[in-house]
Amino acid sequence: MPKTLVVTMGGQAQVVTFALDELLRMRESVDEVIVIHLSPADALVSRALQQLATEFSGDFYRFGRVACRLRRHPLKTADGVPLFDVRSEQDAEVVWSNVRDLVKRLKRDGRSLHLVLAGGRRMIGLMALSSAMFYFGHQDRVWHMYTETKFLKAAHNGAILHDPNGDHVRLIQVPMVPWGAYFPALRLLAEGTPAEAMAAQTRWLDAVELDHCQEVWQQLTARQRDMLLAFADGLTPQEVAEHFVISLKTVDSHKTEILGECRVAWLLPEDQYVDYHFLHEHFGPFRSEMRWWT
C-alpha cells in the first residue's frame, strides 16, 4: 500500500525532513510527503517551502536517497484565497474543511497515512487529529515529534535539516482510536462545519447511549427500576435507602444487579470499577423519559 506522510508546518522546514528521516529509519516506504501550511506569502513559510523544494528536487529525496515527491497543501478559503492565520471560528472552519477533505481524498485513493503534528498553528494540528479520528484506518498512524532542546534551537529556521544518526529527534506514536473505522456512519457526520459535525456526533452518541440505557431498563424488576430512577436523580445509596425506607444492604444488592446489567450493555471489562456515580452519569440525561419506558 502506498504511504503518505502528512506534516503540519509553520515556518520551520526541518519538521518535515526530521519526520521523514525518522520514518525512513523505521523502514517505512514513504513515497509522498504533503505539507499543510498557511499562506506562502508569509516570509517564514516561503523560506521553508524553498528549503524543502531543494531537498526534494525532481521528486527525489536526496538525503534519504529515495523517490519521494513533495506536495504543498496551502490552506485556502472556498474562493481560493490563502489563509494567513487562524484568528476566528470562520478561519477554523476553513482549516477543518481543507484538512478533512485532504484526508478523505488520500484514504479514497487507498493510501496509508502517517500524520505528524509538528508545526504550525495549534488549531491546524487539532483539526488534523480530528480528521484522523474520523477517516483513519487501523494501519494509519499519528505521531508527535520530540526534539532535544539544544538541537531544536540549533536547527531553528532550517539551519539544520537532518539528524543523521537519529540522536536528537524521535517520533512518538499518539494513541488515537480511529472511530470512523469502527463506526463508518460517523464519517457522514463529519461533513459541514466543525460546529455542525460536533452537533451531529453528539446526536449520534446520545442515540447510542439511549439504546444502552433502554437495554438495561428492560432487564430490571419494577423495584430495581425505581431505584435506578433515584440513582439517575443523583441520590447516594444511603439517600436511596432512606427514600424507600429499606436497609442499605438491600440497596447495595439491587445496585449490584443494576450495575451488572450495565456491564453487559456497555461491554465493560470485569476489572473496571463502576459505582452508583455511573448510573447518574449515564441515565441522568434521560431521567425525564425513563418513567415512560416499557
Helix (H) or strand (E) holding 2: none
Helix (H) or strand (E) holding 234: none
Residue with grid cell 427500576, as numbered in its chain: 225
Cα(267)–Cα(261) distance, rounded to whole angstroms?
10
Cα(254)–Cα(2) distance, rounded to whole angstroms?
55
Residues facing residue 171 across a β-bridge: 145
- Number of Cβ within 10 Å of residue 200's Cβ equals 17
Span between the terminal Cα atoms of the chain, in Å:
51
Residue 192 has pLDDT above 80, yes or no: no
DSSP-based three-state secondary structure for 246 = coil
Cα(246)–Cα(242) distance, rounded to whole angstroms?
7
Model confidence over 108-167: pLDDT tens digits?
999 999 999 988 899 999 999 999 999 999 999 999 999 999 999 999 999 999 999 999
**When comparing pLDDT for 206 and 258, which is higher?**
258
Q: Judge contact between 122 and 10, C-beta under 8 A.
A: no
Q: Judge contact between 3 and 28, C-beta under 8 A.
A: yes
Cα(99)–Cα(94) distance, rounded to whole angstroms?
9
Domain layout of the chain by residue ranges: 3-185, 196-290
User: What topology is assigned to 3-185 in CATH?
Assistant: Rossmann fold (3.40.50)
Mean pLDDT across the stretch 221-247?
95
Confidence band for 206, pLDDT divided at 50, 70 and 90: confident
Alpha helices in the chain (DSSP H): 14-25, 43-55, 89-108, 122-135, 149-154, 179-182, 185-189, 194-218, 222-232, 237-244, 248-265, 276-283, 287-290
- The letter for the amino acid at 34 is I
Q: Judge contact between 125 and 143, C-beta under 8 A.
A: no
Residue 203 has pLDDT above 90, yes or no: no
Tell me the whole-structure pTM to 2 decimals: 0.73
User: What topology is assigned to 196-290 in CATH?
Assistant: Arc Repressor Mutant, subunit A (1.10.10)
Return the closest-CA partner of residue 75 out of 139, 121, 129: 121
Question: What pLDDT is recorded for position 292?
Answer: 84
What's phi and psi for 174, nearest 5 deg?
-90, 120
- In the structure grid, which three cell numbers stand for residue 114, read together? 502517517
Model confidence over 162-188: pLDDT tens digits?
999 999 999 999 999 898 888 787 787
Q: Judge contact between 290 and 217, C-beta under 8 A.
A: yes
**When comparing pLDDT for 204 and 26, which is higher?**
26
Residue 195: how many CA atoms within 13 Å on its side-chain side?
A: 5
Question: What pLDDT is recorded for position 136?
Answer: 95
